[in-house]
Amino acid sequence: MSARLAGKVAWISGAASGIGAATAKLFAAEGATVVIADVCEDEGRQLVSEITATGGKAGFSPCDVSNSEQVQASIDSTAAQFGGPDIVVNCAGIVHVGLLHEYPEDDWDHLMGVNVKSIYFSLVHAFPHFQKKRRSYIVNVGSISSHVGQRSTPAYTTSKGAVLSLTQSIALDYAAIGLRCNCVSPGITDTPMLREHLNTASDPDEVLRQRVRRVPMNRAMQPDDIARSILYLSCEDSAGVTGTSIVVDGGYLAAAEWDTADDSLSGVDNT
């Protein structure tokens, strides 16, 4: 087993499900002690059992990332129990579908709290711990909508644009303490969040097939595809990389227009 993260402690928000859960498993396999910070306690504790059953080190911390006191308590208890953290992954996120003229103000504030303000809170509360480290890492999970607009999700796309801007600000302001801050921007990724969204359609599989035609690699990303880039940005494999975004989208953003049905070549299995 390789151990890129041996001796490191990683606090990962939103790690009870999807991309965060894949990241927690990968980090534990790479030798890190992982703290799963999430509002979903049952799923989070289940994942801790899975990781520890395979010899990994993990703990669960109940935490609503939109609440500064809860983020502070979660990060401080991580430090007290395991040391660190050396790595903070801000993965918790929510999406709302709806047009702006009908969008409730409370929903706007809640989504911004979970997707954006949470990053500010995690920096504030991890900072005293980062200051004691020679190297520290923040990886924020953005989206392809950190880079382009997407219809019917105005608060979400705004929040993901802000995730990238905040990533750049943190990278500049804290490079001097050895903190590198980067963003991973997933494309269409097969997680419970995506499934919940698709399940509002009468034929979710058909909707996914149609959406994936827009992806040059002709498949949805898997949570582990995203986790691997988060790992890269959380260790010295990415030495020198800060304030940037890695887009993991199967080529989605590379094309202004795309329909896989028009491909002149075929036959390669991209899974």
Ligand X SMILES: NC(=O)c1ccc[n+]([C@@H]2O[C@H](COP(=O)([O-])OP(=O)(O)OC[C@H]3O[C@@H](n4cnc5c(N)ncnc54)[C@H](O)[C@@H]3O)[C@@H](O)[C@H]2O)c1
Active centre residues (catalytic): 156
CA nearest 142: which of 187, 107, 178? Answer: 187
**154 neighbors 99 (Cβ within 8 angstroms):** yes
Residue 240: CB minimum distance to ligand X, A: 25
Is 245 an interacting residue with respect to ligand X (CB under 6 A)? Answer: no
Of residues 18, 85, 154, 250, which one binds ligand X by CB under 6 A? 18
233 binds ligand X (CB under 6 A): no
Residue 94 makes contact with ligand X by CB under 6 A: yes
Residues 112-131 that bind ligand X (CB under 6 A): 114
Report the residue number, 15 or 79, with the smaller CB distance to ligand X.
Answer: 15
- From its phi and psi, is residue 32 left (phi > 0), alpha (psi between -120 and 50) or beta? beta
Q: Does 64 bind ligand X (CB under 6 A)?
A: yes
C-alpha 136/C-alpha 100 separation (Å) is: 38
Residues 175 and 17: their CA atoms lie apart, in Å, by 31
Is 250 a binding residue for ligand X by CB under 6 A? The answer is: no
Q: Please compute, for residue 108, the number of CA atoms within 13 A of its CA located in the half-sphere on the CB side.
A: 10
Residue with tokens 């097939």, as numbered in its chain: 209
Query: Which stretches of the chain are DSSP H helices?
Result: 18-29, 41-53, 68-82, 105-112, 118-130, 154-174, 192-198, 204-212, 223-233
Residue 204 contacts ligand X per CB under 6 A? no
Residues 130-149, interacting with ligand X (CB under 6 A): 141, 143
Given 12, 28, 32, 39, the residue binding ligand X (CB under 6 A): 39
Shortest distance (Å) from residue 156 CB to ligand X? 7
Part in contact with ligand X (CB under 6 A); list of ranges 1-9, 47-55, 90-98, 209-217 = 90-98
Contact stretch for ligand X (CB under 6 A) within 9-17, 199-207, 209-217, 236-244: 9-17
Minimum CB separation of residue 104 from ligand X in Å reads: 17
In which region does residue 257 sit, left (phi positive, over 0), alpha (psi from -120 to 50) or beta (all else)?
beta
**91 lies in the binding site for ligand X (CB under 6 A):** yes
Question: What percent of the residues of the chain are helix, what percent strand, and what percent coil, each to the nearest 5?
Answer: 50, 15, 35
Which secondary structure element, helix H or strand E, spans residue 60, and what is its range? strand 57-62
Residues in contact with ligand X by the rule CB under 6 A: 13-14, 16-20, 38-40, 63-66, 91-94, 114, 141, 143, 186, 188-189, 191-194
